[in-house]
Amino acid sequence: MAAMEKISPDIYAAFAKRSSGQGWESKKTTYMDYRDGSTNGELVTSVICADTGQQSVHRTLFAKDLVALLPNGTFHMGKRLVAIDNRPDGGYTLRWTDGSFTDADVVVGSDGIKSKCRQLLLGEDSPEAVPKFSKEFAYRGMVPMERAVAVLGEEFARNSMVNIGSDCLTTTYPVEKGTLLNLVACRSIDTWEHDEWVVPSSQEAVRKDFAGCGPVMQKVISMMDKPAMWALFDHPECSTFYKGRFALIGDAAHASTPHQGAGCGQAFEDALIVCNLLEDEQVVSAAHVEDALEAYDAIRRPRTLKIVNTSRENGEICMMRGEETRDDLRKIKATLDQRFHWIWHEDLDQQIQQAKLKMREVSEARHHNGAAK
């Protein structure tokens, strides 16, 4: 949220208009209650994020609000990228499926986990160009809060909760100012055999997948009237986020599983750093744009890829498959109580300054090497 506000107060206002926190005042500083899914919801630990607690939005509606903030004429919908050609001046020509072309001095690809930009930047034959299956899938749903309260009870419906189980978990949290409850039920699976990432399913299949799980988890899945199986993929590796004046941000660079709730926030952090670098007074030529993107890569890639991989780890921990925690709830609690703080308490002003310092170092090295030649 801090990154949103630093990019634009209007973006933060759009988020605040939609965001939902915990329903109970006593839980306002709680990020998530983690509960033993084999029981009636016995508490394992309450993870505290004192600054904000849990804040969630309905992503589709939030995305529409963000589009509404863009000035007319600055964006085009319904385009699908085919290729990016290098121009002699160092810029690019983007080719689209409708046969049209667009010239650009700089390209920033933010086209999601199935990114065409990523394939073009890394090489379509590169193993890093395609998403990796995380060995998990999820059923998802959303129900009116009144129904959720009737099924789960006030506490479990109006506040964020993860039920931990053996090779399974459920996550629930309020959205749209607490009028809806988002439902997620994850299972581990070794391989994904389907061509599509989202496959229609049935209540019978969900009940079979979660047979033997505790009563609260059974109540969660009972509300999934029209379930679909969603394969969970991510991008755990990437050798670079840029080449020349062409860069990747967001899920195109570092798509993550949802187990730390950090993927969307990292896209805003990316945008914050890129914007601050490109608008800096040091950037006065095309060569300086390359320096800016090299600095962006140096500062952002280690942090974001760590988030991708620790999110996978957190999923394993909450499905009782963690290497060091397994099904030991005391060890799981100890891990959960401390594993999020480095994500939440990042000093973004310091990160901006580090990026600008790195850009200056890159520029000076480029100048020195050019003079030496």
DSSP classification of residue 283? -
| 3-class SS of residue 207 | helix
CA–CA distances in Å: residue 237 to residues 153, 240, 263, 349: 42, 9, 15, 26
| 3-class SS of residue 20 | strand
What tens digit of pLDDT does each residue of 301-330 get? 999 999 999 999 999 999 999 999 999 999
What tens digit of pLDDT does each residue of 72-92 get? 999 999 999 999 999 999 999
| 3-class SS of residue 141 | strand
| 3-class SS of residue 55 | coil
What tens digit of pLDDT does each residue of 220-241 get? 999 999 999 999 999 999 999 9
What tens digit of pLDDT does each residue of 126-141 get? 999 999 999 999 999 9
In whole numbers, what is the pLDDT of the chain averaged over residues?
95
Q: What is the mean pLDDT of residues 165-172?
A: 97
CA distance linking residue 80 with residue 88, whole number of Å: 24
Q: What share of the chain is helix, strand, coil (3-state, %, to 5)?
A: 40, 25, 35
DSSP character string of 225-258: SS-EEEEEEE----S-SEETTEEE-THHHH---S
Choose, from 95, 140, 321, 339, the residue flagged as catalytic.
140
- Would you state the structure tokens that stand for residue 193, as one six-digit string? 């055999």
pLDDT exceeds cutoff 90 at 283: yes
CB 348 within 8 A of CB 3: yes
pTM, entire model: 0.95
pLDDT bucket at 287, cuts 50 / 70 / 90: confident
CA distance linking residue 296 with residue 350, whole number of Å: 14
Long-range pairs, 272-279, Cβ under 8 A, ≥24: 272/3, 272/6, 272/7, 272/348, 272/352, 273/299, 273/300, 273/351, 273/352, 273/355, 274/108, 274/247, 274/249, 275/7, 276/352, 276/355, 276/356, 277/355, 277/356, 277/359, 278/106
CA distance linking residue 22 with residue 29, whole number of Å: 8
pLDDT, residue 24, reads: 97
pLDDT, residue 280, reads: 97
- Would you state the structure tokens that stand for residue 369, as one six-digit string? 């090497």
CA distance linking residue 40 with residue 34, whole number of Å: 12
CA distance linking residue 309 with residue 302, whole number of Å: 11
| 3-class SS of residue 156 | helix
Report percent pLDDT > 70 for the chain.
99
**158 a catalytic residue:** no
pLDDT exceeds cutoff 80 at 371: no
DSSP classification of residue 190? S
The structure tokens 């990432």 sit at 197
pLDDT exceeds cutoff 80 at 372: no
Q: What is the mean pLDDT of residues 263-284?
A: 96
CB 314 within 8 A of CB 260: yes
Beta bridge partners of 120: none
Q: Which amino acid is at 336?
A: L
